Amino acid sequence: MTAKILVVDDELPIERLICQQFRKKIRAKELEFVFAHNGLEALDKLKEDGQIDMVLTDINMPEMDGLTLLEKLKELELNVKAVVVTAYSDMENIRKAMNNDAFDFLMKPINFDDLELTINRTLETVRQIKQTQYQLQQVQTQLIQKEKMSALGQLVAGVAHEINNPVNFVAGNLTHARDYIEVMLHLLQLYQQHYPEPVTQIKAETESLDLQYLMEDLPQLISSMHVGIDRINQLIVALKTFSRADSSNKIPFNIHEGLDSTLLILRHRLKACSGHPAIAIIKEYENIPQVHCYPGPLNQVFMNLLANAIDAIDELTHQGQIIQQPTIKIRTEVVEKGWVEIRISDNGLGMTEEVKQQLFQPMFTTKPCGKGTGLGLSICQQIIYEKHQGSLTYCSELGKGTEFTIRLPVGG
């Protein structure tokens, strides 16, 4: 990766000298230099370009001197290291600079061999700090994910189990109730057939109850109860599939079952609401083999990507744009021998270049506080790359929509 160095000096020849001295490394894209002529200009460059690793600054400059620049860098808590260039024996300024967290100093006139050594040493330190920060973030994300997953998984599995028992006995009794009702209705019909002229009291009661209507409606009522119970059962199966314990080994898993159970859990978010009209789900499932994977975490990836897609549709509608038909498309296919691809696309907000640059960074979110933690995609990335040796890529156009693509090795 190219390391970027901001050189801050009001004397122009420095630019030419540096470009000459480091031309090989610049050409090989090992180093990139940007230049500013005073502290203020340097601050602007640092704020607009988040990729700068090191600042090499003079001390005496117009508008904002190097020492003030160091103070500002400290305030901004940027991930850069600064080296000051100062006149020989200017101990006073060197001391001030070091007190303001300068990483090192160089004497004027600059000795370019010395400069190269200092740059190498500074960049190595920046690299180590970045790597440590990255590892820390990864560990933090993993911890949060583990905690989230196990707490959520246990809760879901527990609730599914608890609901399962009462639902089973309602379902069982309902079958008996339907049989009993059929028998009783048949008996009633026999009575009506053989005693067409009942006593006055029964006649009056039959009319006031609208018995004929009750007899027709009751079987329909029972069958709609059956439909309801079937739905609850499906939901329980979905919850159980979704929260399948994070087993220590990969197991063969039907990806379509994972996607369907996730959709069922998200069903309430797909219905029309103040945020958006009903979202259509288009499934284009091909005949793919079972995939060796960790089903629990993989379902979590589906959940995160689908929830993001719904949010993106919500957001576009909130911005006052009318989507003719909000749609989420899910496609699965075998792409090459031993690999399956799962694509989830939406016709929601899409992403700006700025969002794309930070998309997978833990804690990056454009959603309001309390709604998004910004962890969804970094968790997905970890699950797909590290747990499954797969890949997660995307393609997005602002105002048009986004598509995420997961590739997984079938054999795990």
Ligand X SMILES: Nc1ncnc2c1ncn2[C@@H]1O[C@H](COP(=O)(O)OP(=O)(O)OP(=O)(O)O)[C@@H](O)[C@H]1O
**Residue 14 interacting entry, from Mg ion, ligand X, none, C-beta within 5 to 8 Å by type:** none
Q: Which residue is nearest to Mg ion (CB)?
A: 376
**Residue 390 interacting entry, from Mg ion, ligand X, none, C-beta within 5 to 8 Å by type:** none
Angle at 226 between CA 221 and CA 232, to 5 degrees: 130
**Residue 367 interacting entry, from ligand X, Mg ion, none, C-beta within 5 to 8 Å by type:** ligand X
Binding residues vs Mg ion (CB under 5 A): 308, 376
Name the minimum Å distance from CB 275 to ligand X. Answer: 14
Angle at 374 between CA 265 and CA 53, to 5 degrees: 155
Name the minimum Å distance from CB 394 to ligand X. Answer: 8
Task: Considering the complex, state which of residue 262 and residue 308 has its C-beta at the smaller distance from Mg ion.
Answer: 308
**Residue 412 interacting entry, from ligand X, Mg ion, none, C-beta within 5 to 8 Å by type:** none
Closest by CA to 125, choosing from 57, 73, 66, 79, is 79
Long-range contacts of 314-323 (CB under 8 A, 24+ apart): 314/275, 314/276, 314/348, 315/348, 315/349, 316/348, 316/349, 316/399, 317/275, 317/276, 318/275, 319/349, 321/399, 323/276, 323/277, 323/347, 323/348
Q: Is 333 helix (H, G, I), strand (E, B) or coil?
A: strand
Binding residues vs ligand X (CB under 6 A): 304, 308-309, 312, 346, 348-351, 355, 359, 364-367, 372-377, 402
Task: Considering the complex, state which of residue 39 and residue 401 has its C-beta at the smaller distance from Mg ion.
Answer: 401
Name the minimum Å distance from CB 105 to ligand X. Answer: 41
Q: Is 334 helix (H, G, I), strand (E, B) or coil?
A: strand
Contact present, 321 and 277 (Cβ < 8 Å): no
Task: Considering the complex, state which of residue 336 and residue 353 has its C-beta at the smaller distance from ligand X.
Answer: 353
How far from chain centre, in Å, is Cα 226? 37
Sign of CA dihedral 346, 347, 349, 352: positive
Task: Considering the complex, state which of residue 290 and residue 366 has its C-beta at the smaller distance from ligand X.
Answer: 366
Task: Considering the complex, state which of residue 33 and residue 364 has its C-beta at the smaller distance from ligand X.
Answer: 364
Q: Which residue is nearest to ligand X (CB)?
A: 376
**Residue 351 interacting entry, from Mg ion, ligand X, none, C-beta within 5 to 8 Å by type:** ligand X
Cα(381)–Cα(304) distance, integer angstroms: 11
Task: Considering the complex, state which of residue 37 and residue 343 has its C-beta at the smaller distance from ligand X.
Answer: 343
Cα(50)–Cα(125) distance, integer angstroms: 18
Name the minimum Å distance from CB 305 to ligand X. Answer: 7
Residues in the chain: 412
Name the minimum Å distance from CB 358 to ligand X. Answer: 8
**Residue 348 interacting entry, from ligand X, Mg ion, none, C-beta within 5 to 8 Å by type:** ligand X
Cα(254)–Cα(290) distance, integer angstroms: 5
Q: Is the bond into 109 cis (omega within 30 degrees of 0)?
A: yes
Task: Considering the complex, state which of residue 351 and residue 384 has its C-beta at the smaller distance from ligand X.
Answer: 351
Closest by CA to 84, choosing from 3, 7, 15, is 7
**Residue 402 interacting entry, from Mg ion, ligand X, none, C-beta within 5 to 8 Å by type:** ligand X
Name the minimum Å distance from CB 167 to ligand X. Answer: 31
Task: Considering the complex, state which of residue 332 and residue 402 has its C-beta at the smaller distance from ligand X.
Answer: 402
**Residue 374 interacting entry, from ligand X, Mg ion, none, C-beta within 5 to 8 Å by type:** ligand X
